[in-house]
Amino acid sequence: MSTDRAPGGPGARRTDPPDLESIRRLTRRLARRRRRLARSVADDLTDLYTLVLGTVIVVSIMVHGLGTTGPAGFLASAGPAPLVAGGAVAEPVWLPVGAVIALVAACLGPLRRLGPLFLRPEQVQWWLPLPGDRSSLLRHLVRRELAVAWAASVGTGALIALIDGGGVLGAAGWTVLAGGATGLALVALLASQLRGGPTVVVGERLVAFLGVGACAGASLLVPLPDALVAPAPALSGALLALAAALWWWRGPRRRLAGLADHSLRQASAQAFGVQAAALAMDTRALGRMVSAPPRRPVRPAGLRPARVCVRLPGAPRALLGVGAVDWLLLVRQPRRFAQAAAGALLACGAIAAGLPGPVTALLLAAGGWVAVLAVAEPARRAHADPGPDNLWTARPVWVRAGHLLAPSAVMLVWSLAVWGALVLRSGLGPGGAAGAPALMVASGIGWGAVALRSGFRRDPDFSMLIPTPLGAVPLGAGEVVLSGPDAALLVCLPAAAAVAGFPVTGSLVTGQTVASGLALAWALRTGRER
């Protein structure tokens, strides 16, 4: 009769290797013991005091903000909001549901490139070569990541409830929805990692975007009874959580032990690079690490505009040639157009929902910034590798202006959609009908300038570090991080005025033109000292 036992099991012999979860617990106990010996009681009390004080402040602010809207909240009492005076109505409850699903869908690709299961670099070196069962260790990683996802869901639910006035009950419902969506997304990412699928989760993302479209259509076509408005997010989240649990139980849970070592090593290296970029406040490097590489061409690029540029003199040749190359780069990354469309959907959805003016303006600026992050990729690459730009026989300002063409073309379409929604909401005043096209064009150029300023902002100066409670921060890090959002706020001012109820008039057109011109001049001067 065989006397073999499962490694690390209750009846295992002393010669059997322990499972990796036991080794993790042993390592954790030793690390805690060393930490207790290296730290004083005063250090522990200081950390405890900081944690408790921060928690009390955050919870107090959230409770006060949620309590001011009442226990039922805005959505339970406001009912459908008019999209246009005398026109269609929009059911506001569907729009945040679609926004949550869209946010989760947008995060699928970057999270898949980070694993989602990963170990720290030292854990990869110490633990992976060891014999023993790794299922328990990987299940611990899944539980840890699920806890982080649900903690983020609590914050997301509270934020949505604060925006739409959902109160305490609204925050609970949105938390359940965000938790169910993130849980389902995590299981989908685990399944993709276990089967060694591509870094872009095409099927899962397609389903998510179909869900967003369904929510957008339902907001206009499916008004809910008053009794179902408040519990709708909680019911939707419960269904998503149930689907995630069933999928996990019947699929990834059984195949964790078969996760390849190279997948964990690759995810570990990527996660460590992201952590280092985040600590250095280098958002540009962070974006490069989590972004998908450009699509490999299946045939040589025609570059027909470039053929025309060859016959032009120096300055126009550089202007149009750089624009043609930037457009080719965007075309080889179709997801960036989808991201820009998602930004337009966010802004238009906020306008259509009839939310309070400050909230709508904030979401409009967020939608614009989401689109800008997508179309600023050519400028970021030109900043990282200035060699091709230096080969042009034209003044640098013309080359820099060439990087403005492609993002401005995309943001012009974004501006047409957003300002069209604003015109439907606020109406046209004196001179507005004649100036509306100029306003939209100026807005598109202004947002293109925001992309240019964001892409060419200077790198942090690590030669001078400032000690802070969060660690050493390079000198001027705040300026680096705000280069781009500051220009976005400037370009958003006329739209904020339209959100506040001012009709589109000639003065608003003039204001948008001036704001876009200032942003353009600002962008052309950004990073010239390099």
Cα→Cα distances 313→58, 305, 307, 326, Å: 60, 14, 13, 20
Residue 389: helix, strand or coil by DSSP? helix
Q: Which carries the bigger pLDDT value, residue 289 or residue 94?
A: 289
Using DSSP bridges, classify how beta strands 89-90 and 81-82 pair: parallel, antiparallel or unpaired: antiparallel
Q: Is 435 exposed, middle or buried (0-12, 13-18, 19+ CB in 10 A)?
A: buried
Looking at per-residue pLDDT, the higher value among 68 and 392 belongs to 392
* 125/234 Cα distance (integer angstroms): 43
Question: In whole numbers, what is the pLDDT of the chain averaged over residues?
Answer: 75
Say which range, 174-183, 191-200, 271-280, 375-384, has the weakest mean pLDDT.
191-200
Strand partners, 471: 468
Q: Is 260 exposed, middle or buried (0-12, 13-18, 19+ CB in 10 A)?
A: exposed
> In this predicted model, which residue has the larger pLDDT, 516 or 166?
516
Residue 91 has pLDDT above 80, yes or no: no
Nearest to 468 by CA among 278, 279, 272, 275: 279
Residue 132 has pLDDT above 90, yes or no: no
170's tokens: 């609204």
Determine the residue type at 279. L
pLDDT exceeds cutoff 90 at 449: yes
Beta bridge partners of 465: 474
pLDDT 10s digits, 392-439: 888 888 889 999 999 999 999 999 998 888 888 777 767 666 677 888
Assess whether pLDDT exceeds 90 at residue 446.
yes
Query: Is residue 116 reached through a cis peptide bond, with omega within 30 degrees of 0 on the bond before it?
Result: yes
Please classify residue 362 by burial: count the beta carbons closer than 10 Å to its beta carbon, then call 0-12 exposed, 13-18 middle and 19+ buried: middle
SS3 439: helix
Length, in residues, of the chain? 530
Q: Distance between CA atoms of 48 and 56, rounded to whole angstroms?
A: 12
Residue 503 · residue 429 · CB < 8 Å? yes
Q: Quick one: CA torsion of 224, 230, 235, 238, rounded to 10 degrees?
A: 150
Q: What are the start-end ranges of the E strands in 86-238?
A: 89-90
Q: What is the spatial distance between Cα 504 and Cα 495, in angstroms, rounded to a whole number?
A: 9
Position 88 pLDDT exceeds 90: no
CA 249, 251, 254, 257 torsion: positive or negative?
negative
Q: Within 13 A of 277's CA, how many CA atoms are on the CB side? A: 17
Structure tokens at 101: 């699903």
- Cβ atoms of residues 72 and 230 within 8 Å: yes
* Residue pair 527/383 in contact by the 8 Å Cβ criterion: yes
Torsion 257-263-265-268 (CA) sign? negative
Residue reference for tokens 């012999």: 13
Place of tokens 């005091």: 49
CA of residue 370 relative to chain centroid, distance: 8
Distance, CA of 527 to CA of 520 (rounded, Å):
13
- DSSP 8-state secondary structure symbol assigned to residue 83: S
Buried b (16+ CB within 10 A) or exposed e, 399-432: bbbbbbbbbbbbbbbbbbbbbebbbebbeeeeeb
Per-residue pLDDT, 518: 92
Mean pLDDT of 54-77: 56
Provide, rounded to the nearest whole percent, the portion of the chain with pLDDT above 70.
71
User: How far, in Å, CA of 496 to CA of 69, rounded?
Assistant: 24
Contact between residue 505 and residue 381 where contact means Cβ atoms under 8 Å apart: no
- The whole-number pLDDT of residue 410 equals 94
Q: List, for residues 150-166, the tens digit of each pLDDT value.
A: 887 777 777 776 666 66
* DSSP notation for 456-497: TPPPPEEEEEEEETTEEEEETHHHHHHTTHHHHHHHHHHHHH
Nearest-angstrom CA–CA distance, 352 and 95: 9
Residue 351 is predicted with a pLDDT of 83
| Pairwise CA distance, residues 197 & 51, whole Å | 40
DSSP letter (8 states) at residue 199? S
State the Cα torsion 220-412-439-383 to the nearest 10°. Answer: 130
DSSP three-state, residue 99: helix
User: Taking Cα atoms as reference points, which of 452, 439, 458, 457 lies closest to residue 515?
Assistant: 439
Q: Are strands 461-468 and 471-475 parallel, antiparallel or unpaired?
A: antiparallel
Q: What is the mean pLDDT of residues 167-178?
A: 74
- Judge whether 346 and 367 are in contact, CB under 8 Å: yes
**Average pLDDT, integer, range 304-316:** 73
Q: Which amino acid is at 500?
A: A
Q: What is the CA 504 to chain-centroid distance, rounded?
A: 31
Residue 457 has pLDDT above 60, yes or no: yes
